[in-house]
């Protein structure tokens, strides 16, 4: 396991300590969140957690949860989520986030909004002084709106790149495309979020503002918990 993966696992396993038996738990997507899913499965198998229902934020998460023996439900049956554990691509000092490089930002935001607490797990490389200085802002767009949305996002100062995977356009679980918007930092992420959403055809963006209750961050000196 790489040093980065070791840090991710440490953060994820610390975050899982927030979970109590009987909770409905949002299961995040990505390389860090998968360690949380595996830890939950191990605690269920050992009898240390009971009565957990997981709400997956992506099909790949659902498959991993099933493999780990985590019972799954949906927001139709469990509209109130006790806690969600998910990763992030950037975390600023106010715990505003960029998420979505894994391609699941829409479902992630839906589950986060339904949650009483959103706990972010990450390694220290994800901490930034200002959002969009390292990661692009992913914007999920319906395919019909590809060109007008891309042209509009460019007027906001973004360098817009349609996401590809294996040489083909990346398609989300909801059948949409993602336009990755590269900025030279966002001084006012809330204003930019509103401007992005103003364009017809934009479904959602990867700016998660004011949503995280805490971030569990692992670094060379150990694990720290940052509170909003």
Annotated catalytic sites, by residue?
108
Whole-angstrom CA distances from 130 to 28, 58, 134 are 23, 27, 9
Q: By CB neighbour count within 10 A (0-12 exposed, 13-18 middle, 19+ buried), where does 17 fall?
A: exposed
Tell me how far apart the alpha carbons of residues 189 and 197 are, in angstroms, rounded to a whole number.
12
Is 55 within 8 Å of 25 (Cβ atoms)? yes
Closest alpha carbon to 90 in 61, 52, 132: 132
Q: Is the dihedral of CA 188, 157, 193, 198 positive or negative?
A: positive
Angle, helices 59-67/33-45, rounded to nearest 10 degrees: 30
Q: In the Cβ-directed half-sphere of 111, how many Cα atoms lie within 13 Å? A: 26
């Amino acid at each position: 396991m790489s040093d980065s993966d070791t840090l991710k696992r440490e953060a994820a396993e610390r975050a899982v300590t927030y979970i109590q038996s009987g909770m409905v738990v949002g299961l995040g997507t990505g390389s860090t969140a998968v360690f949380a899913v595996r830890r939950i499965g191990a605690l269920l198998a050992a009898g240390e957690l009971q009565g957990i229902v997981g709400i997956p934020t992506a099909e790949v998460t659902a498959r991993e949860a099933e493999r780990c023996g985590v019972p799954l439900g949906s927001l139709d049956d469990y509209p109130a989520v006790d806690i969600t554990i998910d990763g992030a691509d950037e975390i600023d000092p106010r715990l505003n986030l960029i998420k979505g490089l894994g391609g699941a930002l829409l479902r992630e935001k839906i589950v986060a909004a339904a949650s009483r607490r959103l706990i972010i797990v990450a390694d220290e490389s994800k901490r930034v002084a200002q959002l969009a200085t390292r990661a692009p802002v992913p914007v999920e767009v319906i395919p019909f709106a590809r060109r007008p949305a891309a042209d509009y996002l460019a007027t906001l100062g973004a360098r817009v790149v349609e996401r590809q995977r294996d040489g083909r356009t990346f398609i989300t679980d909801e059948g949409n495309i993602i336009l990755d918007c590269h900025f030279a930092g966002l001084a006012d992420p809330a204003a930019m979020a509103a401007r992005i959403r103003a364009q017809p055809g934009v479904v959602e963006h990867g700016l998660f503002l004011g949503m995280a209750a805490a971030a569990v961050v692992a670094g060379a000196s150990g694990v720290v918990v940052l509170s909003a």
